[in-house]
Structure 1
């Protein structure tokens, strides 16, 4: 028997929820347009005041939605917004909704068909920077909670509802982990709902169950004390550029698995059910290759393309340099070389263990006479919610009812701050997103599909009731 969370569950919508969402959809879109006009570009210091203005706008919007507690939290960088609405049921689950209100840079000359911070509706699509990533997906929760209350006749949500919307996600979330640790008592929850994500396609609703982590490093190599003549000394002394190439070539074995000893320690392997569910997705590898601007799929043997990018740990050479790079030739043994590497990790792996394994592996590969250093930048941890978790079952049921069809399941090959919430708060992470690949995150002409925006609100409205009805954490 299938253990799919949606298996056997109704996909019949709630007429009251849907009617409320549809009646108030125009107001949601109008509010979103106001918010999109604020150019909250977190990575540009010239927009610092705009990011603050965006946080203040959101705080007012959450207050208008009924949240009795709304606060703007300052950080060492840009502000985050926190809101809380307790349930009158003391045994109800506590849910923390996460998103971000900052956006990527955008300018008309980048290739936009309209001004990126002057939102424009064309048919059933709303164009503007942040429409999908992530203002639209944050704001649908305000309509979702109102629809939930209207449909149930409640004065408070069926769950203890909290919201945290950060202002630095597009700048790498440099202060987010510290904020979560400092405010852990206020953010404590039973489950985190991330609405900075998407689904497979408009006709294929999906729920993401996990994200990979990230470990980045730089390997610097030094040989001679200066560039030396290759005719006089080449072949008789170590060449750091050659050794950098050997490291890069030795990163994977013949089966394309990562060759660093101990790298796979702790990996949570894919279950047969997960592999079956991934295989049900309408994946077109040729189309995927076009989007990857590549000509062939290649990776660890024994796994499909989706399994490789979603559920397997990987290693990549991001850059290799050393020696003469100018026109013509220069016959030298270079004094130094450099490798930039990144490792995507999955649930069960320890970033600290991966770092130690890489340091040891590099040292063992290099000959005497080549000095080196391995420097790591910040790490991001992976997160994964098992398919049989009751909160994930609630999300699958709720989305299935909103879309009137069974949902499928994905993972995310990239990395994000969700793992910080999982690690610090000790809560599983759910991904509730309605954005689709054509929305163009970070690209010109970013947009959101307005019918899907409504489906997001409908899913959220159904989710709070379903969680309260079917899950009592700790019991």
Structure 2
């Protein structure tokens, strides 16, 4: 009896999984740390390695795209049908800094397989989740008998995500024609847990600033001058204290404008997740929750904007006392943004709000870093249902629930420039330790990602043409 499509996919993956892991280990040995200039050559070597691997996978086009910083990799595999939809996969090949002395049990760039776990920097974030698409597309072809994917498949794998993607939007705008797609799949995210498979539906945006307050031309004696001239450290403290009201709402005028209300259905879906607040607090190394009144912890993390003080300093910081009015003080702030908020408007509102609170005699400068826009996929979007169906097949029919991501990424740039919906397909779990010592990936989940990828292209081909299967 012939195999079903699902069993054919699994058979192919099982037969090729060992070679797949070996190839991933080879890639993980390259310390592609974009934040450290001494690794610039390694980031380029990582891009070259990936481009070669994609050509070996079968992509007829695999190119290095230059930026003023680190290179990106672009690949394309046209569908046999010229009218087939086009899907773009996004990920990144750069990784966070890592060294044995940071607390790693092994060398972070000497991958180790222990049982079902692969330990290495980038194993989960994001090389493992990029690479599962290579075996996924081959399994898709083997199971369907196709010689090319059911969709025109494109990949854009950047090299600066861990450095804030400073050149990413310009890259997308310059190559918008080549990148044109009907849907974008982001594989730089994860699931709720090993036992609760989920699909992410959105990421928050980010705006950051550093504010410098300058008072006296130098540090001056607090007995001779204190109380008679403005103190920049006091100004910094007052602005930080005024950032939230008694209900932990951000006081910047217009901050909440344009945010759509969270629906009852969305709140219900959040509440269905097996959230253990005490366990979460242990993970957060904190003793109590605190946030905007009227919202649960998950709602605060995923669906509400925030303002955080990332740093505050000024004046004498050494041992003992030094009675001065300091010459300057600095505050670093970050704002996580949700759908409906425009980073540019938030930056202007924050700048105006700060300026109104600076007294005469204090000069101030406010500098914003490159902002990241929020993105959100509606729960009823047909392409999202395709991702859910593909995940459901990989996880043997388990219910696939929904999450959002409290962090930020460049996915919204793809959505804005290309005008395509952004979907998320990831299998990493919180215990994988992104950015932390001993980062790892669960190999059985990584192969589930391969399987979901293998199923997704046929499903999306039908959905994006309007002929997809029944809703899942």
After TM superposition, the score normalised by the length of structure 1 is 0.93
1:428 aligned residue (406, 421, 434): 421
Structure 1 window deviating more from structure 2 (378-387 vs 235-244): it is: 235-244
Alignment of 1:408-447 (within 5 A): 408-447=401-440
Structure 1 window deviating more from structure 2 (229-238 vs 262-271): it is: 229-238
Post-superposition Cα deviations, 1:287-313, rounded to whole Å, max 9, x if no partner, equal 111111111100000111111111111
Identify if the C-alpha distance between structure 1 residues 92 and 360 changes in structure 2 by more than 3 Å, giving closer, same or farther.
same
Identify if the C-alpha distance between structure 1 residues 244 and 111 changes in structure 2 by more than 3 Å, giving closer, same or farther.
closer
**Distance of 1:149 and 1:379 partners within structure 2:** 39
> Equivalent residue for 1:181?
173
**Distance of 1:100 and 1:398 partners within structure 2:** 22
Alignment of 1:266-281 (within 5 A): 266-281=258-273
- Over the aligned positions, Cα root-mean-square deviation in angstroms equals 1.9
Q: 1:241 offset after TM fit, Å?
A: 1.6
Q: 1:71 offset after TM fit, Å?
A: 1.2
> Equivalent residue for 2:457?
464
> Equivalent residue for 1:315?
307
Q: 1:13 offset after TM fit, Å?
A: 8.2
2:239 aligned residue (247, 253, 263): 247
Matching of residue 385 in structure 1 with residue 385 in structure 2? no
The answer as to whether partners of 1:93 and 1:473 remain within 8 angstroms in 2 is: no
> Equivalent residue for 2:161?
169
2:132 aligned residue (140, 147, 159): 140
> Equivalent residue for 1:69?
61
**Distance of 2:64 and 2:322 partners within structure 1:** 58
> Equivalent residue for 2:90?
98
The answer as to whether partners of 2:182 and 2:464 remain within 8 angstroms in 1 is: no
- Tell me the secondary structure at the aligned position of residue 465 of structure 2: coil
Matching of residue 395 in structure 1 with residue 381 in structure 2? no
1:348 aligned residue (325, 330, 340): 340
> Equivalent residue for 1:9?
none
> Equivalent residue for 1:5?
none
Structure 1 window deviating more from structure 2 (365-374 vs 83-92): it is: 365-374
Identify if the C-alpha distance between structure 1 residues 362 and 70 changes in structure 2 by more than 3 Å, giving closer, same or farther.
same
**Distance of 1:182 and 1:473 partners within structure 2:** 30
Identify if the C-alpha distance between structure 1 residues 317 and 115 changes in structure 2 by more than 3 Å, giving closer, same or farther.
closer
**Distance of 1:343 and 1:165 partners within structure 2:** 26
> Equivalent residue for 1:3?
none
**Distance of 1:351 and 1:454 partners within structure 2:** 37
- Tell me the secondary structure at the aligned position of residue 307 of structure 2: strand
Matching of residue 108 in structure 1 with residue 100 in structure 2? yes
Q: 1:474 offset after TM fit, Å?
A: 12
Q: 1:109 offset after TM fit, Å?
A: 3.0
**Distance of 1:181 and 1:70 partners within structure 2:** 19
The answer as to whether partners of 2:309 and 2:332 remain within 8 angstroms in 1 is: yes
2:142 aligned residue (140, 143, 150): 150
The answer as to whether partners of 1:418 and 1:429 remain within 8 angstroms in 2 is: yes
> Equivalent residue for 2:331?
339
The answer as to whether partners of 1:13 and 1:402 remain within 8 angstroms in 2 is: no
**Distance of 1:474 and 1:251 partners within structure 2:** 50
The answer as to whether partners of 1:240 and 1:370 remain within 8 angstroms in 2 is: yes
Post-superposition Cα deviations, 1:312-337, rounded to whole Å, max 9, x if no partner, equal 11001111122222222233333322
2:445 aligned residue (438, 445, 452): 452
Matching of residue 300 in structure 1 with residue 309 in structure 2? no
Q: 1:199 offset after TM fit, Å?
A: 0.8
Structure 1 consecutive aligned stretches of length 4 or more whose deviation exceeds 6 Å = none
